[in-house]
């Protein structure tokens, strides 16, 4: 389901509603990180729903932008975070023949292509499709006020494959794509930065979610990995703080921020 998402847009106006009431308005579980994100992104309280969008489809992306454009004259923030893990093959053999067979036979060009399209190409085409709406924010908030935040991964800036050559290579491409877009899109006043998360509870890391679409990752699972100095997964609040910083600080552009609990202090990277 990483290639599809359903979005709910809520705009928040301090004079009309307090942050503590947003959760009740939406009917979602309490989450300080979720509330912080709402406060960052939206200006007035108005709710509407947008149907599923395949972010690997140009037609779907154009339809999504057209639907939003009917309701909004501009957007100030775009979060690009669709992703899939792709095939996995552990490179844990000291025999070249065995290693070749394990890596060559357990993955396909098609799987690599799907991983790249979802994690990289979709980020590019989604961002490009939203550029007019992003630039339109300048008329209200000034140049460089609109921002794209690409959710990449610590896997894209480490040298350890983790058995995920295709995923880590794709996330490395996502990281570099963010840098390319930040340079090229500065001419139209759109900032692009990237967050490279470490281990956070998600369907990708845990493999499931509960009835509220919330995943849970126990500290013990992280401690077993042996390379996470914080000894626990990241929280919603910690991700939200990184988003808040990049969304609000107009003086930051082209940066890759690892929110990884210190993993890259133990695992070779960057």
In the chain the domains, ranked by start, together with CATH numbers, are 75-266 (3.40.50.720)
As given in the structure block, the two tokens for residue 181 are 């877009």
Active-site residue (options: 85, 145, 146, 152): 152
Categorise residue 261: left if φ over 0, alpha if ψ from -120 to 50, beta otherwise. left
In the chain, which residue ranges form alpha helices assigned H by DSSP? 19-26, 32-41, 58-71, 96-105, 109-116, 122-136, 138-141, 165-185, 203-206, 219-225, 236-248, 263-266
pLDDT for the residue 124: 97
Active-site residue (options: 153, 167, 182, 199): 167
48 is known as an active-site residue: no
How far apart CA 36 and CA 30 sit, in angstroms, is 11
pLDDT for the residue 177: 98
Q: Map tokens 């992003």 to a residue.
A: 134
For the chain, 270 residues long, give each residue's pLDDT as a single digit of tens: 344 433 333 333 333 444 444 444 434 444 444 444 444 444 433 455 666 788 999 999 999 999 999 988 999 999 998 888 899 888 888 899 999 999 999 999 999 999 999 999 999 999 999 999 999 998 888 878 899 999 999 999 999 888 889 999 999 999 999 999 999 999 999 999 999 998 887 656 655 555 655 666 777 777 777 787 877 888 888 888 999 899 989 999 999 999 998 899 888 888
31 is known as an active-site residue: no
Do the beta carbons of residue 224 and residue 180 sit within 8 Å? Answer: no
How far apart CA 195 and CA 146 sit, in angstroms, is 16
Tell me the three state secondary structure of residue 13.
coil
pLDDT for the residue 202: 64
Q: Among residues 251, 154, 150, 137, which one has the least CA distance to residue 198?
A: 154
Tell me the three state secondary structure of residue 108.
coil
pLDDT for the residue 28: 40
How far apart CA 268 and CA 149 sit, in angstroms, is 25
Do the beta carbons of residue 55 and residue 126 sit within 8 Å? Answer: yes
Active-site residue (options: 42, 147, 166, 171): 171
59 is known as an active-site residue: no
pLDDT for the residue 49: 60
């Amino acid at each position: 389901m990483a290639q599809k998402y359903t979005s709910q847009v809520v705009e928040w106006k301090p004079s009309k509603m307090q942050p503590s009431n947003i959760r009740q308005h939406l009917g979602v579980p309490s989450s300080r990180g979720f509330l912080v994100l709402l406060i960052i992104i939206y200006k007035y309280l108005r709710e509407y729903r947008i149907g599923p969008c395949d972010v690997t489809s140009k037609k779907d992306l154009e339809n999504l932008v057209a639907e939003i454009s009917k309701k909004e004259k501009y957007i100030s923030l775009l979060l690009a975070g669709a992703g899939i893990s792709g095939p996995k093959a552990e490179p844990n053999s000291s025999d070249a023949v065995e290693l070749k067979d394990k890596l060559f036979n357990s993955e396909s060009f098609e799987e690599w292509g799907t991983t790249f399209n979802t994690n990289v190409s979709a980020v590019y085409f989604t961002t490009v499709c939203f550029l007019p709406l992003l630039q339109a924010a300048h008329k209200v908030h000034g140049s460089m006020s609109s921002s794209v935040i690409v959710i990449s991964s610590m896997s894209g800036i480490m040298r350890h494959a983790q058995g995920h050559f295709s995923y880590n290579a794709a996330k490395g491409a996502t990281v570099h794509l963010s840098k390319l877009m930040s340079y090229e899109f500065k001419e139209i006043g759109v900032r692009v930065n990237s967050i490279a998360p470490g281990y956070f509870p998600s369907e990708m890391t845990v493999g499931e979610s509960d009835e509220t679409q919330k995943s849970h990752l126990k500290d013990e699972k992280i401690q077993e990995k042996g390379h996470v100095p914080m000894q626990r997964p990241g929280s919603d609040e910690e991700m939200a703080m990184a988003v808040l910083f990049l969304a609000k600080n107009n003086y930051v552009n082209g940066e890759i921020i690892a929110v990884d609990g210190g993993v890259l202090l133990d695992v070779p990277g960057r």
